[in-house]
């Protein structure tokens, strides 16, 4: 068993830390931003494979995560719930490419759809993750397994550690010298709960409505290459207008807060081992719009790569 330094305390770094510790490794996590300050804390966070490639690996990782999150949903403290919901389409659409990742998918008939402008859609039960709760639970799990979490901004990946897991999200632009990693800015509005118990998503959007225990996350945007973390009031208004078209009950919901996060997008998610001198670096970043959806799947793969070294 190795001593592993995980760089990054978003959902990707923490799930890697949990799985590595469960496999018997000694794990320390270091991060510039603590979990509730990360992009992961902004995620909606619906299980849904979005803006992540390649299709085959993403489908397999998503399926693994679905199963892991479904098991966690038995314990309220994890922040995971299994909720029904519907993905809507404005034109007839084929089955989704990630069809194999969900146990069941029901095609809606036109009469079950909310009406104009939607003509097609499918429903399925998906994990919905309340990120502030889940991230706290992940930290507690790491610590329960003997791991540590320390705030530390690194200028480069450490070269003294036996094994380093690079889960630095967008930070890998610098730490791994990877210019293919780009931000995809996402803005969301949190509104008060108005009794919603199912999620909605308009695939042409991104427009999504994700209910949580005390509020509802309404999104969103996906601005390629945009670094600005300030919420834009005009964009927030547009987000709400489009969401109300899909879920009219939201018209009476009070706005609670605005959030912006930068998705770490890359032409392909990078889960790959690299030897450096006497040590090993396992990169695990570039999860785009699906970090939560892929998290447990990529964490399992990181454990395999560390174990195989
Ligand atoms: C608005 C929005 C909605 C989203 N909705 C969903 C959703 O519904 N479902 C879903 O699956 N995904 C969703 N996502 C995507 C998801 O949030 C990301 O894919 C995920 O958070 C990426 O996680 P990460 O751990 O790789 O990165 P991050 O959460 O960004 O964490 C990176 C970590 O690395 C650390 N780090 C970086 N550089 C350094 C350094 N130099 N030294 C030390 N530490 C460093 C950071 O401080 C941080 O701790 C959404 C994203 C946004 C913005």
- Nearest residue (by CA) to ligand 1, atom 52, is 43
35 CA from centroid of ligand 1 (Å): 9
Condensed to tens digits (0 to 9), the pLDDT of residues 209-226 reads 999 999 999 999 999 999
Residue 208, C-beta contacts closer than 8 angstroms, at least 6 positions apart: 44, 46, 199, 200, 201, 202, 217, 218, 219, 220, 243
Measured from the CB, is residue 15 less than 6 Å from ligand 1?
no
70 CA from centroid of ligand 1 (Å): 21
Q: Is the pTM above the cut of 0.85?
A: yes
Give the separation between CA 43 and CA 31, rounded to whole angstroms: 18
Ligand 1 pocket test target in 263, 270, 282 with most atoms within 8 Å of CB: 263
pLDDT of res. 125: 98
Condensed to tens digits (0 to 9), the pLDDT of residues 86-138 reads 999 988 889 999 999 999 999 887 666 776 788 889 999 999 999 999 999 99
Ligand 1 pocket test target in 15, 17, 18, 33 with most atoms within 8 Å of CB: 33
């Amino acid at each position: 068993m190795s001593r592993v330094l995980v760089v990054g305390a978003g959902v990707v770094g923490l799930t890697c830390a949990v799985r590595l510790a469960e496999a018997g490794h000694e794990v320390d996590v270091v991060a510039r931003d603590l979990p509730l300050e990360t992009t992961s804390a902004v995620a909606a966070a619906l299980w849904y494979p979005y803006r992540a490639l390649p299709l085959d690996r993403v489908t397999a990782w998503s399926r693994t995560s679905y199963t892991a999150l479904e098991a966690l949903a038995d314990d309220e403290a994890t922040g995971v719930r299994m909720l029904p919901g519907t993905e809507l389409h404005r034109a007839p659409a084929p089955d989704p490419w990630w069809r194999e990742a969900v146990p069941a998918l029901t095609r809606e008939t036109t009469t079950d759809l909310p009406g104009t402008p939607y003509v097609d859609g499918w429903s399925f039960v998906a994990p919905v993750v309340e990120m502030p709760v889940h991230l706290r639970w992940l930290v507690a799990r790491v610590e329960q397994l003997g791991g540590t979490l320390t705030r530390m901004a690194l200028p480069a990946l450490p070269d003294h550690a036996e094994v380093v897991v690079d889960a630095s999200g967008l930070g890998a632009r610098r730490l791994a010298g990877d210019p293919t990693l780009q931000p995809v800015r996402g803005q969301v509005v949190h509104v008060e709960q108005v009794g919603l118990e199912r999620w909605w998503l308009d695939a042409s959007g991104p427009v999504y409505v994700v209910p949580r225990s005390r509020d509802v996350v309404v999104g969103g945007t996906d601005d390629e290459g945009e670094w600005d973390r300030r919420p834009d009031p005009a964009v927030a208004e547009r987000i709400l207008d489009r969401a109300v078209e899909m879920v009219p009950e939201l018209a009476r919901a009070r706005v609670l807060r605005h959030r912006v996060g930068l998705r770490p997008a890359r032409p392909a998610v990078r889960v790959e081992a690299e030897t450096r001198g006497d040590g090993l670096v396992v990169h695990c970043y570039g999860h785009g719009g699906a970090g939560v959806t892929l998290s447990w799947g990529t964490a399992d793969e990181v454990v395999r790569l560390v174990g195989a070294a």
